[in-house]
Amino acid sequence: GSDDIIAGNVSKCIVLPAGYCGQPKKGHLIFDACFESGNLGRVDHVTEFEYDLFIRPDTCNPRFRVWFNFTVENVKESQ
């Protein structure tokens, strides 16, 4: 669930729709937070235009999640 502890950052995580088989296509987003200050812990696909993003807590203050830093690749024009 969303209360699970998120231990690390996503690293070039390709998020595919449920049940999709095959190579990723344009529009299947690639999330990456594997760099200094990156803090994206998990990504869940909801719809073509909606994703649930789970931000890791601040290392020095685990009660707060007041910032986010990650990249997104492989977007298509209308997305």
Return the pLDDT at 3.
Answer: 52
Q: How confident is the model at residue 61 (pLDDT cuts 50, 70, 90)?
A: confident
Do the beta carbons of residue 31 and residue 13 sit within 8 Å? yes
Considering only residues 57 and 3, tell me which one the structure prediction assigns the higher pLDDT: 57
Answer whether residue 50 shows pLDDT above 80: yes
Q: Which two tokens stand for residue 41?
A: 């812990």
**Tokens representing 14?**
């390709």
pLDDT digit string, tens, across residues 3-31: 555 668 889 999 999 899 999 999 999 99
